[in-house]
Amino acid sequence: MLETHIDQTLTAFFAGDRRAAARLMTAVENGGPAAEAVLEALYPKLTGAPRLGVTGPPGVGKSTLVDALARHHRGLDRRVGVVAVDPTSPFTGGAVLGDRVRMNDLATDPGVFIRSMATRGSLGGLARTSKEVVDVLEAFGHDLLIIETVGVGQTEMDIAGTADTTVVVLSPESGDSIQAMKAGLMEAADVLVVNKADRPGADQMVRTLEADLHMRPAADWTPPVIRTVASSGDGLADLTAAVDAHHRYLTGSGDLERRRHARVRVEILAVLRDRLWRRAQRDLTDHVPGWTEKVLAGEATPYTAARAMLAALIDDDPEDDE
């Protein structure tokens, strides 16, 4: 996006134009200098609105639950922004469709903004820029941000780093299939949900989870286990109450501030890493073949080569950075 376009789009965005919001999210997803310009302009407009992460294995009803939560908060006249991170389709490289098509009534509600993102090849989890996309939604004036991700492997930790409160969703059917990821999921959970409570096995699942929680060392916050039927809205009020209670706990204990502190720290390091990497790619690529020859000829090691290139990069005038 060109600079003049960025300025025009930002003006439209601050006037509440949804298409401008979508364009800014695309710019942010594409990364590079345009993304940085957008995020820098938005940063002062961040409100600190609560961020709710919803994660868990595929098929447990996360999207249905997120829809139901969004409707619930709309009923309280809150504006809701949703980022749904979907596994990348091997065929299109895009977010799996179908998921968002369901949200018909929400899609036409100006108080709700739903953005789907692909995971870009990583195994489920947060797309690298999803935090920045949430920033755009927050600066747009949403009162609540919800991030839905498929929980596999490292994701839970990612989402815990992005959200204030992480809701881990399971269903009676997830039983055995979740054993492998259960430890990670449970560790990330601030609130546990057994969705599809209309299905057999829900009570057993709740008991198992509660027993697992009792095995954990005592902590100031023990995740409550909530039963929901996302498709009918049963348990939604309990879930909202649990999330609110967790938010009060976070505020009262100082944890919210600590989490946000950690988030900014990670953010600074990520920006630094991106900038260093961009400069390295711009300024060092030409030197790599020469060093490769030297290493192969026994005149250098990969370590002396990297050290020399890094020293050259740092000695360069930082003013020529774009």
Ligand X SMILES: Nc1nc2c(ncn2[C@@H]2O[C@H](COP(=O)(O)OP(=O)(O)O)[C@@H](O)[C@H]2O)c(=O)[nH]1
- Give 61 or 125: the residue with its C-beta nearer to ligand X: 61
Q: Does 198 bind ligand X (CB under 6 A)?
A: yes
Site for Mg ion, rule CB under 5 A: 62-63
Contact at 8 Å (CB) between 246 and 256?
A: no
Query: Which range in 158-166, 193-201, 258-266, 300-308 contacts ligand X by CB under 6 A?
Result: 193-201
Query: Which range in 24-32, 191-199, 236-244, 285-293 contacts ligand X by CB under 6 A?
Result: 191-199
**Of 99, 18, 25, 36, whose CA–CA distance to 66 is shortest?**
99
One of 9, 55, 63, 155 touching ligand X (CB under 6 A) = 63
Q: Does 149 bind ligand X (CB under 6 A)?
A: no
Amino acid 213 reads L
Q: Does 61 bind ligand X (CB under 6 A)?
A: yes
Q: Minimal CB distance to ligand X: which residue? A: 61
Q: Does 196 bind ligand X (CB under 6 A)?
A: yes
Sheet holding 165-170, edge to edge: 112-118, 80-86, 144-150, 51-56, 165-170, 191-194, 225-227
Query: Which range in 28-36, 186-194, 212-220, 225-233 contacts ligand X by CB under 6 A?
Result: 225-233
**Shortest Å distance, C-beta 235 to ligand X:** 9
Query: How many residues does the structure list for the chain?
Result: 322
**Which positions from 124 to 143 touch ligand X by CB under 6 A, shown as an x/- string?**
--------------------
What angle (nearest 5°) sits at the alpha carbon of residue 281, between those of residues 315 and 298? 75
What's the token pair of residue 246? 């967790």
Q: Does 231 bind ligand X (CB under 6 A)?
A: yes
**Shortest Å distance, C-beta 234 to ligand X:** 8
Query: Which of ligand X, Mg ion, none does 165 bind, CB closer than 5 to 8 A by kind?
Result: none
Long-range contacts, 231-234 (Cβ 8 Å, 24+): 231/61, 231/64, 231/198, 232/198, 233/68, 233/71, 233/72, 234/197, 234/198
Query: Which range in 31-39, 195-203, 213-221, 272-280 contacts ligand X by CB under 6 A?
Result: 195-203
User: How far from 75 is each of 80, 148, 211, 298, CA to CA, in Å?
Assistant: 11, 20, 35, 70
- Give 39 or 137: the residue with its C-beta nearer to Mg ion: 137
Query: Which range in 41-49, 56-64, 125-133, 304-312 contacts ligand X by CB under 6 A?
Result: 56-64
Kind of pairing between the strands at 51-56 and 112-118: unpaired
What is the H or E stretch that residue 160 is in?
helix 155-162
Q: Does 64 bind ligand X (CB under 6 A)?
A: yes
Q: Does 305 bind ligand X (CB under 6 A)?
A: no
Q: What are phi and psi of 196, to 5 degrees?
A: 60, 40
Q: Does 261 bind ligand X (CB under 6 A)?
A: no
Contact at 8 Å (CB) between 82 and 46?
A: no
> Can you tell me whether residue 269 is helix, strand or coil?
helix
Q: Does 177 bind ligand X (CB under 6 A)?
A: no
**Half-sphere exposure (CA, 13 Å, Cβ side) for 314?**
6
Q: Does 59 bind ligand X (CB under 6 A)?
A: yes
One of 83, 168, 230, 300 touching ligand X (CB under 6 A) = 230
Residues that bind ligand X (CB under 6 A): 58-64, 195-196, 198-199, 229-231
